[in-house]
Structure 1
Amino acid sequence: MTTISKDESWQAIDAVRTEVADLIDTLTPDQRLQQSLCGAWTIRDVGAHLSMAALASTTFALKNAVRQGFRFDAIIRESTLAWSRGLSDAEVSGRLRTIVGNRTLAPTTMWRDPLLDALVHAQDIARPLGKSVTPHPEAAATATDWAWERTFGFPFFPARRLRGLRLVATDTDWARGSGKEVHGPVTSLLLLSTGRRTSYDDLTGPGADRARALAGR
Structure 2
Amino acid sequence: MSSRDGAVAWPAVHEERRALIEDLATARPEQWATPSLCPDWDVHDVVAHLVDSAKTTRWGFMRRLAAARFDFDRDNAAGVARERAATPAATLAEFRRVLTETKTPPAAPATRLVEAIVHGEDIRRPLGITRNYPIEHVATALQHQLKTSVSMGGGQQRAAALRLVATDSDVDAGTGAEVRGTTLSLLLAVSGRPVDQNEFAGEGAAEFVKRLTPTPRR
Structure 1 length normalisation: TM-score?
Answer: 0.84
Rounded to whole Å, the distance in 1 between the matches of 2:27 and 2:5 is 33
Instruction: Return closer, same or farther for 1:201/1:83 CA change in 2, 3 Å cut-off.
Output: farther
Which runs of structure 2 are paired with 1:18-167 in the superposition (5 Å)? 18-56=18-56, 61=61, 64-76=64-76, 78-86=77-85, 88-106=87-105, 108-150=106-148, 152-156=149-153, 158-167=155-164
Tell me the residue number matched to 2:210: 213
Q: Give the distance between the partners of 2:12 and 2:86, measured in 1 at CA.
A: 25
Distance in 1 (alpha carbons) for counterparts of 2:127 and 2:45: 14
Q: 1:85-117: per-residue Cα shift (whole Å, max 9, x none)?
A: 3453112222222223321112x1232111111
Shift of the 155–57 alpha-carbon distance from structure 1 to 2, 3 Å rule, reads: closer
| Structure 1 residues without counterparts, runs of 5 or longer | none
Structure 1 CA distance for aligned equivalents of residues 154 and 134 of structure 2? 23
Residue of 190, 193, 208 corresponding to 1:193: 190
* Pick aligned residue for 2:165 from 153, 168, 174: 168
Alignment TM-score, normalising by the size of structure 2:
0.84
Mark the CA change 1:129 to 1:100 in structure 2 (over 3 Å): closer, same or farther: same
Letter in 2 for 1:83: R
CA distance in 2, matches of 1:201, 1:26: 30
What percent identity do the matched residue pairs reach? 28
User: Is the deviation greater in 83-92 or in 112-121?
Assistant: 83-92
Letter in 1 for 2:119: H
Distance 1:200 1:80 in 2: 33
Shift of 1:50: 1.4
CA distance in 2, matches of 1:5, 1:81: 28
CA contact (8 A) 1:61 1:79 kept: no
In structure 2, relative to structure 1, the CA distance for the partners of 1:5 and 1:109 (3 Å cut) is closer
Q: Secondary structure at the match of 2:180?
A: strand
CA displacement, residues 102-160 of structure 1 (integer Å, 9 cap, x when unaligned): 21112x1232111111011111111112211232221111111222224x453245232
- Cα distance, 1:103–1:168 mapped onto 2, change above 3 Å: same
Q: Distance in 2 between matches of 1:13 and 1:120?
A: 12
**156-165 or 96-105, larger mean C-alpha shift:** 156-165
2:197–2:206: 8 Å Cα contact kept in structure 1? no
Change (3 A) 1:24 1:147: same
Change in CA separation of 1:131 and 1:69 when aligned onto 2, cut-off 3 Å: same
The CA RMSD measured in Å over matched residues stands at 2.6
Distance change (3 Å), C-alpha of 1:210 and 1:61: same
